[in-house]
Structure 1
Amino acid sequence: MIEQIFTLSTGNAKSVEKVVMDENIHYVHMIFNKDEGMPEHFSNSNVYMTIVRGKLSIGLDDQEIHEYEAGTLLKIPVDRKMNVRNLHEETLELIVVKAPAPIK
């Protein structure tokens, strides 16, 4: 078989799955329930964030929190302060792709 196969979780439990972490990209699958999210941090590559379900609440640098619904793709440049949260009742599911893969 030529292709590699990866399986993503499908439930509602909090999850941060590092699915593919190679020299080309980092592909991360995330699930957050209300009031869950990631620690505030700086992007270490270009970040492409797809909201699969739910509503993302995200603060970038010093701007106010913006909210994005399922079906939205965000492109976030490298070296941006990020505050990623789920502030809503519905489970939030994200696919995060970092390209090129961070070398830090």
Structure 2
Amino acid sequence: MVEKVFHYSTGNNTVVEKIIMDENINYIHMIFNKEDGLPEHYSNSNVYMTVIKGILSIGLDEQEIHEYRRGDILEIPYNTKMNVKNLHDDVLELIVIKAPAPSHFSKINDKS
């Protein structure tokens, strides 16, 4: 078999699944119920965030919270402060791709 097959959850329970974590990309599937989200943090790579369902409420750096809906794709630069939340009743589902993989940036930072 040439291809490699990965699976992700299809339910509505809160989950953060690290599906692919290799030297090229990180591919992460996230499901958040109302009031769930990620701790505030800085992006450790270039982040591409796709809203699969629900409404994403996200604060970036010092901006006010913006909302994005199903079908929206965000490109978030490396080292951006992120505050990711679901502030709505509907389940929020995201696909997050980090490219290059965060290990790329740690190698660059180690050389300085």
TM band (smaller chain):
over 0.9
The aligned runs of 1:37-56 (5 Å cut-off) are 37-56=37-56
TM-score normalised by length of structure 2: 0.92
Q: Partner residue of 1:82?
A: 82
Structure 1 residue 27 corresponds to structure 2 residue 4: no
Give RMSD over aligned pairs: 0.4
| Gap runs ≥5 in structure 2 | 107-112
Shift of 1:37: 0.1
In structure 2, give the amino acid aligned to 1:66. H
Structure 1 residue 14 corresponds to structure 2 residue 14: yes
Shift of 1:36: 0.1
Structure 1 residue 92 corresponds to structure 2 residue 66: no
Q: Distance in 2 between matches of 1:91 and 1:6?
A: 22
Q: Which 4+ residue blocks in structure 1 deviate beyond 2 angstroms?
A: none
In structure 2, give the amino acid aligned to 1:27. Y
Q: Distance in 1 between matches of 2:45 and 2:20?
A: 15
Larger-Rg structure? 2
The share of aligned pairs that are identical, in percent, is 65
How many residue pairs match? The answer is 104
Shift of 1:78: 0.3
| Gap runs ≥5 in structure 1 | none
User: Deviations for 1:62-90, whole angstroms, at most 9, x for unmatched residues?
Assistant: 00000000000000000000000000000
Matched residue of 2:17: which SS? strand
Select the structure that is richer in helix: 2
